[in-house]
């Protein structure tokens, strides 16, 4: 029977540390702040933004919210980003994705000052992560690394398999595992003999975006299984990319859905915001 890695527990631990960091910076006369931009009325985006605002309030981070109408132009959005780039009282800038279809996400991401890019989507920060010297880290992948660290799981010398190659999770978690001296295989839709590869993984990260995709026959006995997916099954119940019921008895460690990787994303966003404030004030 696998040990459950609780994202709620680990994120509470991380956020407690960040509360102390924010107090320390405040005592030095440094305020920590995050500006969040949301365009349009996407319900899921509104929930995410509200959760980020709550997390900021809990930790003592100042939050600025810019809710723009659906018909905002590309130039208006870029002008706002540029204004926030220039403001010394703004440490982190986050533009909630997805944007309405008429807006170019890449241009907006590229316009954010890399030192304020708390999502770690800017090519400069992506490159730093790739070569192993990033200070701002992609939130979900960094959260996965923190969960393993909390449980005393080191990727060093382990066979690490990542299913999925998205820019948000798959590619960056592969980089972080490699930076931590794991032997990393990245699998995707064109991979042949997938189950043969995954069943040799000491650490298996499922970020494929397909519900209940990873089954017990794909998992090595005693493996660490990290489930990044979040979906609703035919009964409208939350589930992940991993078939938890069949995999949990075989795994050594496993993350649940919900309550696994999910809570870590906002915790690591808070970490990045604190790190950004330190960078901008010469504390790091």
- pLDDT tens digits, one per residue of 127-156: 999 999 999 999 999 999 999 999 999 999
Is the alpha carbon torsion for 241, 245, 248, 250 positive or negative? negative
Q: In this predicted model, what pLDDT tens digit does every residue of 48-97 receive, in sequence order?
A: 999 999 999 999 999 999 999 999 999 999 999 999 999 999 999 999 99
Q: What predicted TM-score, i.e. pTM, was given to this entire model? A: 0.96
Locate 259 and state its tokens.
């309550």
Residue with tokens 């931590």: 180
**Sites in the chain below the pLDDT cut of 50:** none
pLDDT of residue 284: 75
Q: Which residues are catalytic?
A: 52, 96, 119
What is the C-alpha separation between 177 and 159, in angstroms, rounded? Answer: 10
Quick one: 117 exposed, middle or buried, by C-beta within 10 A (0-12, 13-18, 19+)?
buried
Domain(s) of CATH 3.40.50.10860: residues in the chain: 30-114
CATH class of the domain at 30-114: alpha beta
Domain(s) of CATH 3.40.50.720: residues in the chain: 139-263
What is the C-alpha separation between 163 and 171, in angstroms, rounded? Answer: 10
- To the question of domain 139-263 being in CATH 3.40.50.970, the answer is no
pLDDT of residue 216: 98
pLDDT of residue 37: 98
Q: Collapsing DSSP states into helix, strand and coil, what is residue 58? A: helix
pLDDT of residue 10: 98
């Amino acid at each position: 029977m696998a040990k459950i890695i609780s994202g709620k527990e680990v994120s509470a631990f991380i956020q407690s540390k960040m509360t102390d960091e924010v107090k320390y910076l405040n005592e030095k006369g440094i305020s920590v702040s995050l500006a969040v931009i949301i365009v349009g009325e996407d319900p899921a985006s509104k929930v995410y933004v509200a959760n980020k605002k709550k997390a900021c309030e809990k930790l003592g981070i100042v939050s600025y919210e810019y809710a723009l109408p659906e018909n905002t132009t590309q130039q208006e959005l870029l002008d706002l980003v540029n204004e926030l780039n220039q403001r010394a009282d703004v440490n982190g800038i986050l533009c909630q994705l997805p944007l309405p279809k008429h807006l170019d996400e890449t241009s907006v991401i590229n316009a954010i000052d890399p030192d304020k890019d708390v999502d770690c989507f800017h090519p400069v920060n992506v490159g730093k992560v790739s070569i192993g010297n990033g200070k701002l880290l992609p939130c979900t992948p960094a959260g996965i690394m923190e969960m393993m660290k909390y449980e005393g799981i080191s990727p060093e010398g382990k066979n690490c398999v990542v299913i999925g190659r998205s820019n948000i999770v798959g590619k960056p978690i592969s980089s972080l595992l490699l930076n931590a001296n794991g032997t990393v295989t990245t699998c995707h839709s064109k991979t042949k003999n997938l189950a043969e590869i995954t069943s040799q993984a000491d650490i298996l990260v499922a970020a494929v975006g397909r519900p209940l995709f990873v089954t017990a026959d794909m998992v090595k006995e005693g493996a660490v299984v990290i489930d990044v997916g979040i979906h609703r099954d035919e009964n409208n119940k939350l589930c992940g990319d991993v078939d938890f019921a069949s995999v949990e008895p075989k795994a050594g460690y496993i993350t649940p859905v919900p309550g696994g990787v999910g809570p870590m994303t906002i915790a690591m966003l808070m970490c990045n915001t604190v790190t950004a404030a330190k960078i901008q004030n010469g504390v790091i």
